[in-house]
Structure formats: structure tokens, C-alpha cells
A and B are shown apart, each in its own frame.
Chain A
Amino acid sequence: MTRIIVSKSVQETISAGKRLGALLGAGDFLALTGELGAGKTQFAKGIAEGLGVDPATPITSPTYTLLNIYPGRVPFYHFDLYRLQGSEDLLDLGFEEYFHGDGVCLVEWAERLEETLPEDHLLITMSHDGDDCRTLSFTPSGSRGEELAGLLMSDHK
């Protein structure tokens, strides 16, 4: 079941990310999609905060670096597949090695994962509704995905 959060500001987007980040542990996988300017990197800032990454560390876009790694309660692996052509590039990069590892993976432009998307994950789709409004849809897959979506929404009330 898809759950929706409507955000009216950058702060609300970060705050939603922070609530989810606080629930995450090693091995959790977040797939993030949404057009340019949808607020994906802002949401990632919130996740980092919830994971206990040092607030003085800027969470910057991994578009060019492809992967940024931050120490937190558990390592935070922030991927961006915007520049990749398809899952063949992904295999070449060896990113799958991180997917079931010691940290939390957040993948922007996750639709490019294709068949390499882990079965157990939480898919977050962000859309830009004009000016500062964003809609965040959470679609779980697998038991841990369901658990996270459930916890997030009970927390949201």
C-alpha cells in the first residue's frame, strides 16, 4: 500500500527524511525517484540527519561523484544514478556490493537500477507540485519495506 506525505516546504521535506532516517538500520534500502528539482537531495539531507551524520557535514549532491559516503550510526551510502545509462554501468561500478552491507543505501534515480533493485526496499517517489510544494509517496516492497512504511506513518500522525 502506498502512503503519501505532502510537504509544503524544504524544511518539511527534510523533516520527513529525518523521521525515516531515525528508523533505519544496516541493510536498509531506499529507492528514490522524481524529476529534476523534486527535492531528492533535500530529502537525503533529512535521512542523514536521522542517521546521526554530523550536522556540520554538508550532504551534497552525488550526481557527479556517483556515491557519497558518510559516517553515522551506521554508514550512509548516498548514490545518484542520474548519469548512468543502465544497469550494466551499475554492475561495472560494483555498487551492488554496498546493497546488502553494513549501512543504509539511498539511491537517487533508482528507476535505473532495473533488475538490480533489491527485492526488499522502500520506494519513495517525489513530485514537484509548483513552488515549494512536494508530494512524497512511499511504496514498500518486502517485509522490511512494509515495516518501515508502517513505522513512518504511525510516527507521522
Chain B
Amino acid sequence: MLSTPFPFMLLLSIESSCDETAASVVRDGRDILSSIVASQISIHADYGGVVPEIASRKHLEAISLVIEEALRTAGVSLPAIEGIAVTRGPGLAGALLVGISTAKALAYGLNIPVAGVNHIESHILAVKLERDVAFPFIALAVSGGHTHLYEVHGIGRYRTIGQTLDDAAGEAFDKVAKLLGLPYPGGALIDRLAADGDPRAVKLPRPLMHDDTCNFSFSGLKTAVLNYVKKNPSVAEGAALHNICASFQSAVCDVLVSKTRAAVLRSGIRRVVVAGGVACNSGVRREMAAFADKEGAELFIPSPSLCSDNAAMLAVPGDYYLSGRAVAGFDLDALPVWPLDAISSPEGP
């Protein structure tokens, strides 16, 4: 019983950093008892079945229902909760404050500790809810808002080694979908259409692929697709549509893999975690697996439900911080700008 690295704890976690309002109950930083994401469910008929996105006020409308649903699904009563983890940043101040205020009010009322965690940190540690991944590892965090490479030496010990200089990969997927006349957000649709296309049909650039950094750039790739569409208006139909989707996806995957490979070779760290919404993309999963196989690296990608925004992922850093290292006071505030390198850790990176 004493051998566990985490104390036994029933943790409620709350996420409201941008679009999603989410809550989760996790036991011992490991067992997900519930993970509720507002946009993915219709919370009771009395809510009308639709939970609007984006705005802070919408988080405020959804948060109590999402927490109640998380507790109900977990079969846990509120007084049984022993600690709370909440996203402190990065994100929109107003949205973050909805989660933080709720977390502090609950913690005060229940007389339990609360920890503020980083949204990106939670994404790259989410895989530990499913697999035992030893430190250190290279993490590629790739989503609509982020495309970053990190060295992860432990919980709270991160070093940024590369990032996008313009658009995030997930954003490029959604915007290219829009240029092709697909409904927004169309990233997942590109993935499906690409399955029946020829990735070599359209020659597209691989920006920054051969420079000597671990940085990314996807804006020029988006513009290359725009120029191609303007010159070939019929591209939005039939086989041509499948081909442009496959060619674009292949360009993104090439860049992501190439920079991840550079990070592995440079650091000598041979464990790789891919996290964030774009880690659901089948091309990314396939190409990353092929790369890991070839380089003899270990690859870890969480299940899709832990890749997109969720609250369960907060439990990994939350449990660790609540075990005595970093319990927050009731003055806990939002950090809209919060790079991972700025997280303080007793040991340092």
C-alpha cells in the first residue's frame, strides 16, 4: 500500500481554459471514474441538449452541471472528494477564472486542498493515466492552439525545445479544410478524405523541415494550398479532393515527424509522447509509429478521449502537486500566459 508514488486520493479536476468546460473524478492519479466534457454530452433534457462553446459566461452556465455529472457518473458524493485540481493557464482569463473560482469555493467549503495546473502540462502527462511512461521523455504537444516540443524530465520539470512560429498544426488542418470548402472545423474530415487519396499527387512545401531547429511553421503550407486551390478550382471535388487532403496531411506529418526525430537525436532521449487533439489524426499516429519503429524509440499516444481537451488529464500533475509539494492558497489566480518552462519545480529542469 505504501509503494505507490501518489497518496491514495479521490480527486476532482476542473478544466475551463478555452472552449471546453470539463470535470472528472480520478482515484489515485490513475483510475478515471468519470470524465465529462460539456460539448460532448447533452447534459439532461432541461439544458436543451446543446452546450454552447467559447465564452466565459457559457463556462459559468455549464460548470455546475458538468461537475454534478462527473460526480454522479463516478458514483461519488461531493464530501468524499479529497482534493481538487484546476487549470490555471494558459488560456483566456475570464474562462480560467470560472474554473478557478469554482475550485476554490468547493475547496473552501469542503476544507480540502486545491492545486493549479498547467493545461499543456496536463496534456503531455495524460498518457500516464493509461501507460507507465518513465521520465525523461520527448513530448510533442499538437493541437489547434499548440505545436510544441518539450523535454520532460519529471512532473513540473519541462524544457521547451521547439514550437510553431505561426500557426498550430491543428489550426492549419481546420483552415485548409475551410479553403477546400469543407465544413469548419474540418480537421477530422481531412483525415477521412486523405485515406483514399494519393499523398504524392500535389507537391506541397515542408516549411522549416531542414533547418537546424526544432521549430515549426505551418502558415506557408496553408498559403501553398490556397495558391493551389486558386489555380485549380476543381480541386474541391472527387479524387482531386482526396488527393489534396492526402498531400496536405502528408506534408504536416513529415514536418511533425522530422522535428520529433531531431529532438530525439539531439537529446538522446528515446521515449516519445504525442499529445493534444491532433494526436487523434490517423496519419500522425501511423507516421509516428513508423518513425519510432525505425529509430528504435518508444512511442506513447493516449486514447483519443485523452488527446482532446478533457479534465481527467489534470489528475496526473494534480495528484502529484497535492501530495505536498505545491498546494495552492485561496489567492490562486489565473495565468493566461504560462509557458511550461516557467513552472517552478523543487528540483528544476
Q: What separation, in Å, do the CA atoms of A63 and B170 have in the docked complex?
A: 11
Residue pair B219, A61 in contact (C-beta under 8 Å): yes
**Chain A neighbourhood of B58, CB < 8 A:** 92
Q: Given the interface contacts A58-B163, A92-B56, A92-B57, does A42 sit within 8 Å of B219 by beta carbon?
A: yes
Interface residues of B in 136-184 (CB under 8 A from A): 143-145, 163-168, 170-171, 175, 178-179
Q: What separation, in Å, do the CA atoms of A92 and B175 have in the docked complex?
A: 25
**Chain B neighbourhood of A94, CB < 8 A:** 56, 94
Residue pair A36, B178 in contact (C-beta under 8 Å): yes
Cβ of B206 to closest chain A Cβ, rounded Å = 17
Q: How many A-B Cβ pairs are below 8 Å?
A: 77
Q: Given the interface contacts A37-B226, A60-B165, A83-B54, does A65 sit within 8 Å of B18 by beta carbon?
A: yes
Q: Given the interface contacts A36-B175, A93-B55, does A41 sit within 8 Å of B92 by beta carbon?
A: no
Q: Given the interface contacts A84-B54, A93-B54, does A58 sit within 8 Å of B164 by beta carbon?
A: yes
The residue of chain A having its C-beta at the shortest distance from the C-beta of B91 within the complex is: A65
Q: Does A151 contact B (CB under 8 A)?
A: no
The interface size bin for chain B is 20 to 34
Q: Does B223 contact A (CB under 8 A)?
A: yes
Q: What separation, in Å, do the CA atoms of A149 and B166 have in the docked complex?
A: 27
Residue pair B336, A69 in contact (C-beta under 8 Å): yes
**Chain B neighbourhood of A69, CB < 8 A:** 336-337
Q: What separation, in Å, do the CA atoms of A128 and B179 have in the docked complex?
A: 13
Residue pair A64, B170 in contact (C-beta under 8 Å): yes
The residue of chain A having its C-beta at the shortest distance from the C-beta of B219 within the complex is: A41
**Chain A neighbourhood of B175, CB < 8 A:** 36-37, 63
Residue pair A60, B166 in contact (C-beta under 8 Å): yes
Cβ of B28 to closest chain A Cβ, rounded Å = 32
Q: Does A114 contact B (CB under 8 A)?
A: no
Residue pair B90, A65 in contact (C-beta under 8 Å): yes
Binary contact readout A28-43 vs B (1 if CB under 8 angstroms, 0 otherwise): 0000000011000110
**Chain B neighbourhood of A117, CB < 8 A:** none
**Chain B neighbourhood of A68, CB < 8 A:** 337
Interface residues of A in 82-97 (CB under 8 A from B): 83-84, 89, 92-94
Interface residues of B in 59-100 (CB under 8 A from A): 90-92, 94
**Chain B neighbourhood of A84, CB < 8 A:** 54
B→A interface (CB under 8 Å): 18, 54-58, 90-92, 94, 143-145, 163-168, 170-171, 175, 178-179, 215, 219, 222-223, 226-227, 230, 336-337
Q: Contacts A58-B164, A64-B143, A92-B57 known; list 6 others, CB within 8 Å.
A: A37-B226, A41-B167, A61-B167, A83-B54, A93-B92, A128-B226
Would you give 16 A-B contacts (Cβ < 8 Å), ordered by A? Answer: A36-B175, A37-B226, A41-B219, A58-B164, A58-B165, A58-B215, A63-B144, A64-B18, A64-B143, A64-B145, A65-B90, A66-B18, A67-B336, A69-B336, A69-B337, A92-B54
